[in-house]
Amino acid sequence: MTPMGWTDKWIEIDVDDIRNNLEQVRSCLKPGVRLIAVVKANAYGHGAPEVARLLAQQGVDFFAVSYLQEALTLRKSGLRANILLLTPLTTEEQVQEALENHITLAITSVEEAEMVDKVSRTFNWSGTVHLKIDTGLSRFGLDNAQAIKCCQVLKRNSNIYIEGIYTHMAEGTSPGYSEKQFKRFMSVVRDLQDKGYLIPVKHCANSAVLLNYPHMQLNAVRVGTLLSGQHPVGRFKHRLDLRDPYRFKCRIISLKSAAKGSYLGYHRTYRLRKPAQIAVLPVGYNDGLALAVNNRPSGWIDLLKVLAKTILNYFNFSRLQPKVSYKDNLYPIRGKVFMQMCLVEFPIDLEVKVGDEVEVPVRKTLALGNVMRCYVREGQAGKIDDERHTFYVTEGENHG
């Protein structure tokens, strides 16, 4: 039975898996290294307020997000821990709202520093900032001279506390470039120290760097991917025993028998090779099914993989067909995925019925935010309560 009887699709998040991943990450940290839990993009699809609340119950006291609205959502949910905003703000109104809600700001330009200084003085508000240094990702951030200028601007304001300094590594599997970025970052840190700017919190290690370069932990690390149950792309010297907490599930809403040779879906892209049962699921590309990130291939080998996958998909190569999980077995999605539905081929003699539960391969970061997320422990649905500091089962919401 689903956690809420009125819904035909939902996302299950296992709280014990998140706790396991947190402990695995902590096992990598050197003594005194602070964990900054990154819960951007709705905590990688797991639900930012709930995941942050759960991590806070386990002793995490520092979080990071990309955008102001993400930070405000956490504040409105009752999270009192530190929240670092990782991207620049563009207007005084945004800075005002961030300072009013005690959100730690990233300073990525001299103009931002001047804007934060102005807003703080206008309202006589205190604020905490981290300087973002660009060492080779080339997205945004300060160079050495700009970092010095920002310190000069902000140190004149007694309400502003320069708590941290950080950089973002371009990759974690290229030792040459990673070490070059690290040396650039530490050079800026030392230069600021020589000029009397002592900044207590220093961080450059993300999930990938944490696994490969222990000496880059400094005194804080920013981790999101590992907490979500996934290793970053690439090879790593050290791998953790992670668990994926995420399951996208739905009910079968229609079921019919179809003869051999029947065409399925728009443009008749698939024809049945044998009699089958065709199930309709209420999940389509509008929910994130069959969508993929379409970045430029990283090299010739990557390009060949993309081309080979496209060609094999065209010929309905079975190993590349997306599959759903039903009673611990996999069954293929056939034909083109619709906007809000898809078709699944089940064997003609399989015992299956409308209303049965199916797990669908929707990537967690592509799933719509309005799909209900259900938090479970040992198969029972419940709530992560801030006041009780615990997960508790809600009466009548057992899941099985």
Query: What long-range pairs does 209-213 form, CB within 8 A, spacing at least 24?
Result: 209/169, 209/172, 209/178, 210/25, 210/28, 211/28, 211/172, 211/236, 211/237, 211/238, 211/239, 211/240, 212/172, 212/173, 212/175, 212/178, 212/236, 212/237, 212/238, 213/172, 213/175, 213/178, 213/182
Determine whether 197 is an active site residue: no
**Residue 332 is part of a domain; what is its CATH number?**
2.40.37.10
**Per-residue confidence (pLDDT) for residue 215, from 0 to 100:** 95
**Per-residue confidence (pLDDT) for residue 2, from 0 to 100:** 47
- Check whether residue 300 and residue 179 sit in a common domain: no
- Check whether residue 156 and residue 300 sit in a common domain: no
User: Of these residues, 30, 195, 266, 305, which one is catalytic?
Assistant: 266
- Check whether residue 82 and residue 136 sit in a common domain: yes
In the chain (400 residues long), the average pLDDT of successive 10-residue segments reads: 68 96 97 98 94 96 98 96 97 98 98 98 97 94 97 97 96 86 97 97 96 95 97 85 96 97 93 97 90 63 66 60 94 94 97 96 85 88 69 50
Q: Which residues contact 98 (CB under 8 A, 6 or more apart)?
A: 68, 71, 85, 89, 105, 127
**Per-residue confidence (pLDDT) for residue 321, from 0 to 100:** 81
Determine whether 331 is an active site residue: no
- Check whether residue 88 and residue 219 sit in a common domain: yes
- Check whether residue 216 and residue 74 sit in a common domain: yes
**Per-residue confidence (pLDDT) for residue 172, from 0 to 100:** 75
Length of the chain in residues, anyone? 400
Number of domain units in the chain:
2
Q: 10 Å Cβ neighbour count for 83? A: 23
- Check whether residue 195 and residue 269 sit in a common domain: no
- Give the helix/strand (H/E) hosting 17: helix 15-26
| Residue 235 belongs to some domain of the structure | no
User: Of these residues, 40, 249, 323, 364, which one is catalytic?
Assistant: 40
Residues 376 and 4: beta-carbon distance below 8 Å: no
**Residue 38 is part of a domain; what is its CATH number?**
3.20.20.10
- Give the helix/strand (H/E) hosting 334: strand 329-334
Token pair belonging to 357: 């539960």
- Give the helix/strand (H/E) hosting 156: none
- Check whether residue 23 and residue 112 sit in a common domain: yes
The one-letter code for the residue type at 119 is V
Final residue of a domain: which of 179, 205, 223? 223
Domain, as residue range, for 202: 15-223
- Check whether residue 205 and residue 259 sit in a common domain: no
**Per-residue confidence (pLDDT) for residue 367, from 0 to 100:** 85
| Residue 377 belongs to some domain of the structure | no
- Check whether residue 295 and residue 172 sit in a common domain: no
**Per-residue confidence (pLDDT) for residue 146, from 0 to 100:** 98
- Check whether residue 204 and residue 298 sit in a common domain: no
Residues 219 and 32: beta-carbon distance below 8 Å: yes
| Residue 370 belongs to some domain of the structure | no
